[in-house]
Amino acid sequence: MPLTPKDVRAIAELARIGISDAEARTIQGELNNIFEMIGRMQKVDTEGVAPMTHAQGVALRLREDKVTEGDQRERFQAIAPQVEQGLYLVPKVIE
Amino acid sequence: MLNASLKELAAGLAQRKFSSVELTKLFLGRIKALNGKLNAFITVDEERSVGQARAADALIAKRQAQALTGIPVAHKDIFVARDWLTTCGSKILSNFVSPYDAHLIERFNTAGAVLLGKTNMDEFAMGSSSESSFYGPVRNPWNRDCVPGGSSGGSAAAIAARMAPAATGTDTGGSIRQPAALSGVCGLKPTYGLVSRYGMVAFASSLDQAGPFAKSAEDLALLLDVIAGFDPRDSTSIERAKEDYIRELDKPLSGLRVGVPKEHFGEGLAPDVGAAVEAALAQLEKLGAKRVPIELPNSSLSVPAYYVIAPAEASSNLSRFDGARYGYRAKDYTDLADMYRKTRAEGFGKEVRRRILIGTYVLSHGYYDAYYLKAQKIRRLIANDFTEAFKRCDVVIGPTSPTVAFKIGAKTADPVQMYLNDIYTIPANLAGLPAASIPCGFGAGGLPVGLHLVGNYFAEARLLNVAHQYQKATDWHRREPAGLQ
């Protein structure tokens, strides 16, 4: 089922990307072409095929719950858009 | 010196024929002279590079040099390097000065190599032409109206134009091999998990892999020796014993079984590229290799499966760019959600936004099984094709890209056409196999053609052996673009 401009706006909202109505219409066409190409996959019988997540079938390693990094707050916050007293500042979330 | 191999440069440094400072300044001068025409570098920092070269010279004087001590290396701007601007070709990271080093950068630092500069690339490594960079398109040194390939186009162009003796890149769907082919240089994508992804800006984590660019297979082997190895900070890094990638270079090719997949020689392959690849296969036979016809029946499904898996993982990875902790933040906003929406709309380019939207959709409620899970099953089928093929051959060889370099702007209006550039390279990413591209001739317009070699898991030494033997018998890799100065 092809995507409508309304679908595109809903996806953009999920992705937190601002989008104008004109852009939604352009992107709608591009995405539909891409999904038509992707759709070729659906014709293939994959019954009983195990999904592949890693080339060597390796499970993600877990590490010990131990502190390995020292405090580098100042270093990391030096490149932040807005900080105050060691805290990242963003617009108010709760009134 | 611009055409010298890494081994020759290391010998020259060891014998004090020239210093690392002189060598570094030579390449910095070359960058200064050519970057205006090619746009291969985003950041160059002469003082910092020369400082590193001076430290390398001190090591050499104390006879504490390793194989790459004092050699300048250019890095794709996807690897974070402490106190260096690291943009990933994006406006959203256009002010990001990294507080730490990527694993790969640490490895080069430990080896005493010199960081020569950060190379231009498609934004967030999403592209096959290096046109989507916030810093403008990279131009192909063989013909400046053409693209150098992508996404690691800056690194490929830098090697081709002799602006760097060695460089690094990343390959998620062909981003090392395709630009290597289109720019007439050598590039290697190692087995998934061989080189740590720590400090490499994430695109599609189950596919991303770092690798080297150079003028020859022998140089690639030296570079791989430095960057390969286990790193606990990358959860998909593979724990295995350290290998010597130079050991097999001189092995003769007699008895080598070269698998030739018929699917990579069919419709869509340009005749000039096909002819150069056929000639290379004949050359390998002359060196004692045996040609084995093989099939990769699910090959044509690789592009569709890739354009589900890669955007899905990208949409998740790129959610971190929200303007809160680092990078670009929009100027005016009404609330937090508005800050996110505006920051991401203004900070990401067109192709990146497009891929985030594809990924968000395929992962959204009710579509996961139909897209992501289905693509992972197709991925298994593609990997199984190779497992079958490697029962009958040692290396799979074909074209890297269906055509030679195309004109800047030729494919930007049609994303699907752009995506099909990677039809021969994507299968190795989906399967996680090592693969390389080396120059094997010239096609239309005198533009380079790349030969694609895929090996079995962890068979990098064998791949490099085949490439090196081919390069001992041919001189395509020694050709350089004319008329640059």
Contact status of B364 with chain A (Cβ, < 8 Å): yes
CB atoms B326 and A81 under 8 Å: yes
pLDDT along chain B (485 residues), means of 10: 97 97 98 98 98 98 96 98 98 97 98 98 98 98 98 98 98 98 98 97 97 98 98 92 95 98 95 98 98 96 97 98 97 96 98 97 93 97 98 98 97 91 96 98 98 98 98 98 85
Which 87-126 residues of chain B touch chain A by CB within 8 A?
Answer: 95-97, 99
CB atoms A12 and B416 under 8 Å: no
Number of H helices, E strands in chain B: 15, 11
- pLDDT confidence band for A92 (50 / 70 / 90): confident
Rounded to the nearest 5 percent, the helix, strand and coil shares of chain A are: 40, 5, 55
Q: What residue of A is the nearest CA neighbor of B377?
A: A51
> Rounded distance, CA B183 to CA A78, Å?
39
User: Cβ distance B350 to B310 under 8 Å?
Assistant: no
Nearest to A81 among B323, B356, B378 (CB): B323
Q: What pLDDT was estimated at residue B124?
A: 98
Question: What is the average pLDDT across A9-16?
Answer: 97
CB atoms B339 and A91 under 8 Å: yes
Q: Which of B126, B309, B325 to mutate to test the interface with A (most CBs of A within 10 A)?
A: B325
Query: Which residues of chain A make contact with B354, given a CB cutoff of 8 A?
Result: 27, 30-31, 34
pTM above 0.90, yes or no: yes
Residues A61-73: pLDDT tens digits?
Answer: 888 999 988 899 9
Give me the domains of chain B, ranges plus CATH numbers.
1-485 (3.90.1300.10)
pLDDT(A95) > 80: no
Q: In Å, what is the CA distance from B141 to each residue of B9, B24, B33, B254?
A: 23, 21, 13, 36
User: Active site includes B76?
Assistant: yes
Question: What is the average pLDDT across A36-49?
Answer: 95
pLDDT(A57) > 80: no
Interface ipTM: 0.95
> Rounded distance, CA B71 to CA B11, Å?
11
Q: Which residues pair with B169 in a beta bridge?
A: B211
Q: What residue of B is the nearest CA neighbor of A46?
A: B377
Contact status of B344 with chain A (Cβ, < 8 Å): yes
Structure tokens at B433: 């196999």
Question: What is the average pLDDT across A9-29?
Answer: 96
Q: What pLDDT was estimated at residue B36?
A: 98
User: Cβ distance B22 to B238 under 8 Å?
Assistant: no
Query: Which residues of chain B make contact with A49, given a CB cutoff of 8 A?
Result: 377, 380-381
- pLDDT confidence band for A56 (50 / 70 / 90): confident
Contact status of B353 with chain A (Cβ, < 8 Å): yes
- Which of the following is catalytic: B49, B76, B155, B196? B76
Q: Which of A19, A20, A25, A34 to mutate to test the interface with B (most CBs of B within 10 A)?
A: A34
- Which of the following is catalytic: B20, B130, B175, B237? B175
Sheet (strand B395-399) strand order: B41-43, B114-119, B72-76, B167-170, B210-214, B186-189, B435-442, B448-455, B395-399, B257-261, B290-294
Q: Which of A35, A52, A53 to mutate to test the interface with B (most CBs of B within 10 A)?
A: A52
- Which of the following is catalytic: B98, B151, B401, B437? B151
User: Active site includes B175?
Assistant: yes
Looking at per-residue pLDDT, the higher value among B414 and A58 belongs to: B414
Query: Which residues of chain B make contact with A11, given a CB cutoff of 8 A?
Result: 357, 360-361, 364
Structure tokens at B105: 């950068």
Dihedral pair phi/psi, residue B248, rounded to 5°: -100, 0
CB atoms B361 and A11 under 8 Å: yes
CB atoms B99 and A27 under 8 Å: no
Q: What is the mean pLDDT of chain A?
A: 92
